[in-house]
Amino acid sequence: MNPVHIVAKEGSISPLVLMPGDPLRAKYIAENFLENPVLINEVRNMLGFTGTYKGQKVTVIASGMGCPSMGIYAYELAKFYGVKKIIRIGTSGSLNKNIHISDLVVGVDARSMSTFAYAFSKDETDIEYADKELLKNIKSTSKDKSNVKFGHILTSDIFDVYSDITPTLDKLKFYDPDAVEMETFALYHIAKITNIKAASIVTVVDSKYEPDVIVTPEERQTNLNEMITLSLEAIIK
């Protein structure tokens, strides 16, 4: 079988990949952080680019939103294009009063109540883990940054700003998530079954503890430079 969602020339995708959710964020990263970026995928407008960062070849390609979309793109990268490391870079909501808007959360693990893992590989797990080597790289890169927190991520099927996720949280016994988003669990599961390394870094853009702080769509797209730089530095180590 050939990939149908990423159609790129052989050798055009680096083994090192950053995955934002938004295709326009992928374009922003390529244009502002990579040298000599080249468009390598535009199927369904899921933009992907390959360039160099500090002399190393890096690809940035969007994942779309939710576990199903992340599952498609992460799987094709690992299965068909020889990708070895993926760091998801995205946005999240805070579920911890000590984690504030603009803080970065590194997902040590991710939990989900979805059926993604079982549907994909008959795996009944509801928790997946980041790669320890990538976590070590992120930790050493961010050692002087007080706003980088290592914690637990809840991967939800709904956008929590629109709907109350308290019933979900009530069912997650013995799990105290720090941030909520929609893709990390799927990435970690795909990484496990394809034997690649994966991690997730998310920037907090909303919090029930800071309801008056508003981050605009434009800021969500472009004002994430600290997370982008951290992920680039960590993935090339």
Please state, in angstroms and as integers, the Cα–Cα distance from residue 145 to each residue in 87, 148, 170, 224, following that order.
19, 6, 32, 15
Question: Is it the case that residue 168 has pLDDT exceeding 90?
Answer: no
In this prediction, residue 215 carries a pLDDT of: 78
> Exposed, middle or buried by CB within 10 Å (0-12, 13-18, 19+), for 1?
exposed
**Residue 24 has which token pair?**
């326009």
Residue 162 or 222, more confident: 162
Tell me if 2 is assigned to some domain: no
For the chain, where are the alpha helices, taking DSSP H only?
Answer: 23-33, 67-80, 116-121, 132-141, 166-171, 184-194, 217-222, 225-235
- Cβ density class 61-75: b for 16+ within 10 Å, e for less: bbbbebbbbbbbbbb
In this prediction, residue 222 carries a pLDDT of: 63
Report pLDDT digits (tens) over 182-201. Answer: 999 999 999 999 999 999 99
- Shortest CA distance to 57 belongs to which of 117, 14, 86? 14
Sequence-distant (6+) residues with CB within 8 A of 76 are 3, 5, 6
Catalytic residue among 126, 178, 206, 212: 206
Tell me if 3 is assigned to some domain: no
Report pLDDT digits (tens) over 76-123. Answer: 999 999 999 999 999 999 999 999 999 999 999 999 999 999 999 999
CATH number at residue 208: 3.40.50.1580
Tell me if 4 is assigned to some domain: no
Helix 225-235, helix 132-141: angle, nearest 10: 120
Tell me if 176 is assigned to some domain: yes
Phi, psi of 52 (to 5 degrees): -125, 150
Tell me if 202 is assigned to some domain: yes
| 237 vs 232: CA distance, rounded Å | 9
Tell me if 200 is assigned to some domain: yes
Report pLDDT digits (tens) over 119-129. Answer: 999 999 999 99
Helices (H) and strands (E) in the chain, counts: 8, 10
Sequence-distant (6+) residues with CB within 8 A of 162 are none
% residues pLDDT > 70 (the chain): 98
Residue 83 belongs to what domain range? 16-235
Phi, psi of 62 (to 5 degrees): -75, 155
> Exposed, middle or buried by CB within 10 Å (0-12, 13-18, 19+), for 132?
exposed
Of the pLDDT bands very low, low, confident and very high (cuts 50, 70, 90), residue 27 is: very high
Domain total of the chain: 1
In this prediction, residue 214 carries a pLDDT of: 81
Is residue 198 within 8 Å of residue 85, measured between CB atoms?
yes
Phi, psi of 14 (to 5 degrees): -75, 155
Q: How high does pLDDT run on average in the chain?
A: 94
Sequence-distant (6+) residues with CB within 8 A of 93 are 160, 161, 179, 180, 181, 204, 205, 206, 207, 208
In this prediction, residue 219 carries a pLDDT of: 72
- Our answer to whether residue 206 is catalytic in this structure is yes
